[in-house]
Amino acid sequence: MVMEHAHPHVHRDDEGSKMGIWLFLFTEVLLFGGLFVLYAGYRFAYSDGFVAAAAEMNTFIGAVNTIILLTSSLSVALSIAALQKGQKRLCMNLLWFTIISGLAFLVNKYFEWSHEIGNGIYPKGPALENMSSGEVIYFGLYYTMTGLHGLHVIIGMIFIGFVLNFIKRDIITSTNFQKLENAGLYWHLVDLIWIFLFPLFYLVH
Amino acid sequence: MSEHITTETHAAHEVSYGTYVMVWLGLVALTAVTVTIAGIHLGSVTLVAALTIATIKTILVVTYFMHVKFDNRVIKVFIFVCLLIFITIMVLTFSDLSFR
């Protein structure tokens, strides 16, 4: 008995942990998948309205946000490689860069939404009276899907914040970094969803 | 005091910084292409092109950034099954919409 206390038997299952996060990511895919099916159905029924509404989108901001998220995905991927090489400082800086990128994305989104709400595009807003039902549905889906995505960006930033703290305290190390990988996988999924949201809402005109 | 640690083999495959940067360059280039194509007003081709490019970008992100390329078979089968369910839902939805 004393021996067991002297040598605690720590069981760690990285593959199991990775499978767990993938299973969770699939539920996320199906959550957004349902909304994409909804988008597809309405786009099929109201393609003229969708094209007219998408023409009002600022493609430039959308493209900038796409580049921001792609770059933040790169920095997460690089942070794992850095930690594996034992470069803890670099790893932490890359993760800070990711969080700041997420923030930049949200700031852009804030200005975009403010602009649209300023133009009267919101539930029962004045602009909706002059719109066809296709356009109204487009903006409904736009706010729902980009809003839900924005929420995921915020959650991803918090997730990475916890991971940063674990790295600082050496709980996540160069030989024990599955938590960092899981945070990375989540962040990449958030990026992937945007890869589809961007063309579907900004480039359909 | 050394801890006895049992680990389910962590396939610590190291991907070089260069590989990640190349993938990122590819993703940025594809973004530029998709924005350019959308600007030419090709009608229905725009949507097909945009979704094709988005799919290529997804494959790049999943393969390299999410390093599924170096993961074991179980994860690959996982992803395949999930994809199959999603495609099935999409195909059924569209067949319903098209034959109404």
CB contact under 8 A, A195 and B74: no
**Mean of the per-residue pLDDT values of chain A:** 92
> Which pLDDT value is given to residue A101?
98
Q: What pLDDT, on a 0 to 100 scale, did the predictor assign at position B5?
A: 52
B77 touches chain A (CB under 8 A): no
Residue B2 pLDDT: 46
Which residues in chain B touch residue A36, judged by CB atoms under 8 angstroms apart?
90
Do B38 and A203 count as a contact with CB atoms less than 8 A apart?
yes
**Contact by Cβ (8 Å): A101, A89:** no
Share of chain B above pLDDT 90, in %: 38
Average pLDDT on A134-138 reads 95
The pair phi, psi for residue B72, each rounded to 5°, is -80, 175
A52 strand-pairing partners: none
- The reply to whether B36 touches chain A by the CB within 8 Å rule is no
| Confidence bin at A129 (pLDDT 50/70/90) | confident
CB contact under 8 A, B61 and A205: no
Share of chain B above pLDDT 70, in %: 87
Model pLDDT for residues A146-198, shown as the tens digit of each residue: 999 999 999 999 999 999 999 999 999 999 999 999 999 999 999 999 999 99
Please tell me which residue, A135 or B38, carries the higher pLDDT value. A135
Which residues have a Cβ under 8 Å from the Cβ of B97 and sit 6 or more positions away? A41, A44, A45
* Residue B6 Cα, gap to closest chain A Cα (Å): 5
**Which residues from chain B sit within 8 angstroms of residue A184, using beta carbons?**
65-66
Reply yes or no on whether the pLDDT at A21 is more than 70. Answer: yes
**A56-65, A87-96, B11-20: the lowest-pLDDT one:** B11-20
Whole-number pLDDT of residue A1: 46
Inform me whether the pLDDT recorded for B1 exceeds 60.
Answer: no
Q: Could A29 and B17 be called an inter-chain contact, meaning their C-beta atoms sit closer than 8 Å?
A: no
The helix (run of H) or strand (run of E) holding residue A11 is strand A9-12
The pTM for the full model equals 0.90
- Give the one of A11, A70, A196 whose C-beta lies nearest to B27's C-beta: A70
Whether B78 and A19 lie within 8 Å, measured CB to CB: yes
Burial classification of residue A2, based on how many CB atoms lie within 10 Å of its CB (0-12 exposed, 13-18 middle, 19 or more buried): exposed
Evaluate whether B75 touches A22 at the Cβ level (below 8 Å): yes
Mutate to test the interface with A, among B20, B52, B75 (most CBs of A within 10 A): B20
- Which of A18, A25, A27, A201 best tests the B interface by mutation, with the highest count of B CBs <10 A? A18
